[in-house]
Amino acid sequence: MGNFIGDFVKGSKLDHLPYKVAKGVTLHREIDTYTDNHSIVGISKDKLRVKYRHYAGVIVDMFYDHFLAKNFNSYSEQDLEEFASEKYSLLEKYWDTIPERGQHMLPYMIRGNWLVNYSKKEGIHRSLTGLSRRTKFDSKLDLAIQDLSRYYSEFENEFSEFFVEIQEHISQFREELINSKL
């Protein structure tokens, strides 16, 4: 829950949220910070930076989501479709905790089954095209699928290497978070 709403909750005060949700938001923020500052992610962004400028990070996040979904069975004993269904149900159950922007997005996410469809290039392309329509500037996000295809094995190798490292980092961070006061 906290991970989903992490992008919709602003500010450092989280005391208006249920305790576990606040910890989830904190975890989400740590994942973002770690990812944004990681050298391997930087290598992926560098392939895109000239063409997409500050949108390179968004695109790499989505490409990495693709590789996580595509290879989900390598990282989890749970089937991706079952995982997605459980998470969608959880989010619907706690609808009132979700900020308005998240409430607006969630029905589209469920209807489009984003968590599962990110495993396919078509799903990533559809999401990038949708984002492209909503950006204020000519982002060219709808063209990013060409770069995914062009550098597919490089991006996948970079993701695989990065994912091992982020799992280790987040495992340690979660341990500290569990033992901390928020």
pLDDT for 54-113, tens place per residue?
999 999 999 999 999 999 999 999 999 999 999 999 999 999 999 999 999 999 999 999
pLDDT for 98-146, tens place per residue?
999 999 999 999 999 999 999 999 999 999 999 999 888 888 999 999 9
Count the Cβ atoms, other than its own, within 10 Å of residue 88: 17
CB 47 within 8 A of CB 147: yes
Structure tokens at 4: 């989903």
Range list of H helices, 47-79: 49-52, 56-70, 72-75
Token pair 């970079």 in the structure block, residue? 158
Structure tokens at 75: 């990282």
Distance CA 86, CA 175 (A): 24
Distance CA 145, CA 155 (A): 12
pTM score over 0.85 = yes
- Percent of the chain, pLDDT > 70? 99
Distance CA 71, CA 80 (A): 9
Range list of H helices, the chain: 2-5, 19-36, 39-46, 49-52, 56-70, 72-75, 80-93, 100-111, 114-117, 121-134, 144-150, 152-178
For 7, the 3-state DSSP assignment is coil
Among 9-13, 83-87, 169-173, which is the least confidently predicted range? 9-13
CB 52 within 8 A of CB 148: no
pLDDT for 142-160, tens place per residue?
999 999 999 999 999 999 9
